[in-house]
Structure 1
Amino acid sequence: MRNLQSFPYTHVLVLGLAKSGTAAAHLLLDSGVTVRVNDMKADEASEPVQELKSKGADIVVGSHPLSVLDDIDLVVKNPGIPYENPIVDEAVKREIPVVTEVELGGMLHEGPLIGITGSNGKTTTTTLIHEMIKADHKPVSVAGNIGEVSCEVARTTTEEETMVAELSSFQLLGTENFRPDIAVLLNLYEAHLDYHHTLQNYHNAKAKIFENQSEEDTFVYNADDQKICIYLPSVKAKQVAFSIQEKVDGAWADDERIYFYDEPIMKIADILLVGEQNLQNILAAVAAVKGIGVSNEAIRDVLTSFKGVAHRLEFVTEKNGRFFYNDSKATNILATSYALRSFKQPIILLAGGLDRGTSFESLTPYMSSVKGMVVFGETADMLADAGKQAGVEEIVKVGNMDDAVQEAYQMSVEDDVILLSPACASWDQYRTFEERGHMFTEAVHKLN
């Protein structure tokens, strides 16, 4: 496994363990750096902590004393730790650099690096890029928010191997010199304001993905998103656009085909993924992989077989002419509105979940294709009211996912889409949106 060379810091504080902190601490220790670990919740007797201690790490758990910053010249923090944390705040006051492990991964990886960020679609786009490169028989690994920790993956990659990294705003905010060869910015919406405090702060964190790029690099961006376009004058890299609205210098689509510049890639009708959002993700992926010479054949192979990332408008199966889709990741109205716009067929919508005080009136303009609804969870009545306002013909309230799927199937006919897209978080009935999605797919497969 490769270690950091010519690392400019000698005494590093790793703040917060979990996967990223543990991986960063091991990398730093193996690279000959003096490491102190501070975690409020970690158990000092646990195996991961003891393993780091046996390598020579100074372990401080159970509290955040400011003394952990003594003699420290770099802080590597868990991305989820806010900058209001007393240790982070004090480090900034002392002018100690504060980064996330993504910075270390970028320093260590020697081959091509593709970084993907955006408010929506990161995981699907990252997966598509990874699968397209793999289908072209080129060495590739995936890291970041999807898969393994970046600095851990980078320890085993080769100079010829492309690392594809999904990156959150939390991770990017903690970068100083991180520089992907190809940076992909999918879209910018309002999100994570509890962490970033203002929309501008959030957008600026995302924009860090291209901040250190030079003329030798490539910036792939959504030309349909004006919030991204305002950054273009400050981008030094070669700009490659993607658009579902017009022909651009990059990847684009008309009613029948997708293109890269003037080169037709394939027919849209042959693509397995559905929906406007996924078409944007596909075009972003095409623009990224064409930049490293991936063949059209490999792109087509993936797009004609890829059913989607689990729980993200994922095609489950077809039964007796009904088409089942699992979009359990749709934990807000915006995501569900995208899902509803993805189909031309009549839809039976399964929705509901945690009550966060949200009104669902803004969902009604997107429900013109919804012929029936099955609602559940704390928001069942509110979603039922929204359905009535939209003129939905049949609405049923149920208590569990098995009943939801049965009811949806009963009210459906051939060619209908049965769509789980809850518009709510899952925590009223399920531990995670993944658990909710698994319950849906299991119930679908139990249908006769």
Structure 2
Amino acid sequence: MNELVKTKKNKQLQSVFFTKILIIGGGISGRACAKWLNNKGKEVIIVDSRNLDDKVIKGTNIVIKTGIKYPLDTSWFNKIDTLIISPGLSPHSSKKSGVAEMLDLARREEIPVLTELDLFEMAVNTKSQSSNVKEKSNNNYKAPVIAVTGTNGKTSVVKLVVKLLNSVGIDAQPAGNIRPSLLEAILLRESIKRMPDVWVLELSSFQLALTKRFSPTFSTILNISSDHSDWHENGEEYLHSKLKVFGVPKPTAKAFICRDEEKLSRVIYKHLRNSNSENINKHKSFITFGIGLPGEKGDFGINQSGRFCYRNFLKKNIYHEFELSIKDINLIGAHNFSNIAFCLAVASQITNKFNRIIEVLKNHVAENHRLENFLSLDQTRFFDDSKATNIGATVAAMNSLKEPIILIIGGDTKGQDFNILSKFLVSRPPYLIVFGKNVSSICEEFFKAGLNFYQVENLNEVVSLIKKIVDQKVLKNDLNEKKINVLFSPACSSLDMFNSFRHRGQEFKKLIFSEFKVKETIVGKI
């Protein structure tokens, strides 16, 4: 892997030490990097292999050079002293993006390679930050950085953490894979001349993979499952990228570890021990969370009565119970309850105003396209889980519902191994519909596993088939009039046929409302 380019020039990774920067990729991240560096007086060249319509970066005189074939030749590197790679481009030669060759060239020319996250680290470490949380009078105060990654649930968790902290008067700024991007958020804060009290970052494996310096305060990997094999070399390298969320080159964060992810937990403990043995041995540098009873002092979870709780630091075998039960939560699924336990745990490091936080959690509802019960008719409930762009997310959704289930999957497979999903579905087979143009790999695995399924080309055919199944009441008769759960959880990327997972989910809901002749104001309630 072309992970780090170690050169004489990158010993001091501070913006003052470079002046001429080449940015590869003119997307959201690349544009934000270019604008921030331009504001610092740096000379910036930004290129993109695509033919973009919008080439001018707002607020600057920078024009993106488009239609440039990757990899760039040596002449580009003679003009620069720093290279920045946008996160959407894989650095692996097997993925044929051209980035691997450019990284090799940068190494030969001793040119440092940075990421947007590296620049974010520079920005937050060179700012005097006012704060409403602690040390308000200290001009050198650095706002805590909460960093969240994982295969699934990152965006929802970051939004909820920000919502909870804001509700108690703490200025929490989301950034990263969620919009605004890392440097978009920095630019926003610089424009209003106030840094936040807390940064809450959603970080993807793409953003972490090539990062060299990152020193978060609190970090977690919510979960891990196979994903992004179209970008990463393999599963091991994918996990290695995720582990950087705890800090690079060494862990700096207090780690929040999900007990329910046993294999992942072992990997994280090993990583913390190997990277930072003195810190982990001197004091507890981690907190665990999950759906079971907390195991050690300071851990968070759920007790046998279904109440969220944590284990008291001061008293042996004493658990503090929150006035919050899983019955109070307007979400379903063990993964959602585990994520709420994390939110409580990380919020406890910032504030003790839990009465307001509990109130907000009781009124919190699922975001659009995330196991969203958008319609209930008679004995049929419809769930839009279009955000499920990988197998792990679909398995979590299935585990949140009871049979009978009509499961709709399909889209861009991203090179995932659907044998994993087949094995799970064999244990609890749904009424299965596969849709999309290039889903032969999915169908082959289902066929080999002996699963029965319908294959259709598009969402129109999907919805027509659902209507037929529901009208004929086949599943109800077979299963004693139990409610049918229609679960649109594709386990694939949406970009084969749609602009985004949001577009895909909106189209599915629109077709359901039309086919079942109901107004969109009729919303489901679990």
Contact 1:66 1:90 in 2 (8 A): yes
The aligned residue for residue 240 of structure 1 is 287
2:428 matched to 1:367?
yes
Match of 2:310 in 1: 260
TM-score (norm 1): 0.84
Per mean C-alpha deviation after superposition, the further-off stretch among 229-238 and 255-264 is 229-238
* Aligned-partner residue type, residue 301 of structure 2: W
Contact 2:422 2:445 (C-alpha < 8 Å) held by counterparts: no
1:324–1:424 distance in 2 versus 1, CA, 3 Å: same
Deviations along 1:195-221, one digit per CA (max 9) or x if unpaired, are 331333222211111134989842212
Q: Which moved more, 1:401-410 or 1:112-121?
A: 401-410
Aligned partner of 1:137 in structure 2 is: 169
Q: Distance in 1 between matches of 2:184 and 2:369?
A: 26
Unaligned runs of 5+ in 1: none
Match of 2:40 among 31, 34, 45: 31
SS in 1 for 2:246: coil
The alpha-carbon distance between structure 1 residues 424 and 198, as it changes in their structure 2 partners (threshold 3 A), is closer
Distance in 1, Cα, partners of 2:446 & 2:22: 52
Which one of the candidate residues 166, 177, 183 is aligned to 2:213? 177
Is 1:125 aligned to residue 146 of structure 2?
no
8 Å Cα contact 2:294-2:310 kept in structure 1: no
Question: Among the aligned pairs, what percent are the same residue?
Answer: 27
Structure 2 Cα separation of the partners of residues 92 and 294 of structure 1: 48
Displacement of 1:232:
3.0
Aligned length: 438
- RMSD (CA atoms): 3.5
CA change 1:42–1:23 in 2 (3 A) is farther
How far the C-alpha of 1:38 sits from its partner, in A, is 2.7
**Does 1:152 find its partner at 2:184?**
yes
Quote the offset at 1:319 in angstroms.
3.3
Distance (Å, rounded) in 2 between the aligned partners of 1:214 and 1:332: 30
CA distance in 2, matches of 1:19, 1:192: 20
What does residue 421 of structure 1 align with? Answer: 489
Equivalent of 1:73 in 72, 81, 91: 81
1:202 to 235, 238, 243: 238
Match of 2:271 in 1: 231
Q: CA deviation at 1:383?
A: 9.2
Residue identity opposite 2:300 in structure 1: A
Say whether residues 1:310 and 2:319 are aligned partners: no
Task: Render the CA deviation track for 1:163-221: whole Å, top value 9, x for unaligned.
Answer: 21110111112322222222122123333344331333222211111134989842212
Deviations 1:266-316 (A, max 9, x none): 101111111122222222222222211163234323432333233222232
**CA shift digits 1:6-52 (9 cap, x unpaired):** 63322222121111111111110111112222322255x84425974
Which of 90, 95, 100 is the aligned partner of 2:105?
90
The 1:385–1:104 alpha-carbon spacing in structure 2 relative to 1, beyond 3 Å, is closer
Decide whether aligned partners of structure 1 residues 270 and 242 sit closer, same or farther in structure 2, where only a CA change above 3 A counts.
same
Task: Specify the alignment match of 2:351 in structure 1.
Answer: 293
**Contact 1:13/1:35 (8 A) holds in 2:** yes
Shift of the 388–209 alpha-carbon distance from structure 1 to 2, 3 Å rule, reads closer
SS of residue paired to 1:308:
coil
Task: Name the structure 2 match of 1:192.
Answer: 228
Q: TM-score, normalised by structure 2?
A: 0.73
Q: Deviations over 1:129-148 (max 9, x none)?
A: 12212222321221111111
Q: Which amino acid aligns with 1:98?
A: V
Which secondary structure state, in structure 2, belongs to the residue aligned with residue 437 of structure 1?
Answer: helix
Match of 1:222 among 239, 258, 261: 258
- Tell me, which stretches of 5 or more residues in structure 2 are unaligned? 1-12, 94-98, 130-142, 312-318, 519-526
Q: Is the 8 A contact 2:214 2:248 kept in 1?
A: yes
Partners of 1:428 and 1:320 in 2: how far apart? 34
Instruction: Report what 1:330 is aligned to.
Output: 388
Instruction: Quote the residue 1:435 is aligned against.
Output: 503
2:173 and 2:196 in contact (8 A); partners too: no
Tell me if structure 2 keeps the 8 A contact 1:307–1:315. Answer: no
Partner of 2:7: none
Kept in 1: contact 2:222–2:257 (CA 8 A) = yes
Using the TM superposition, give the Cα deviation of residue 373 of structure 1 relative to its aligned residue in structure 2, in angstroms.
Answer: 4.3
Alignment of 1:105-116 (within 5 A): 105-109=120-124, 110=129, 111-116=143-148
* AA of the residue aligned to 2:288: A
Contact 1:181 1:213 (C-alpha < 8 Å) held by counterparts: no
C-alpha spacing 1:174/1:367, structure 2 compared with 1 (3 Å): same
User: Do the aligned partners of 1:74 and 1:97 also contact (CA within 8 Å) in 2?
Assistant: yes
- Indicate the SS of the match to 1:154: helix
Distance 2:238 2:14 in 1: 32
> Per-residue deviation at 1:71?
4.8
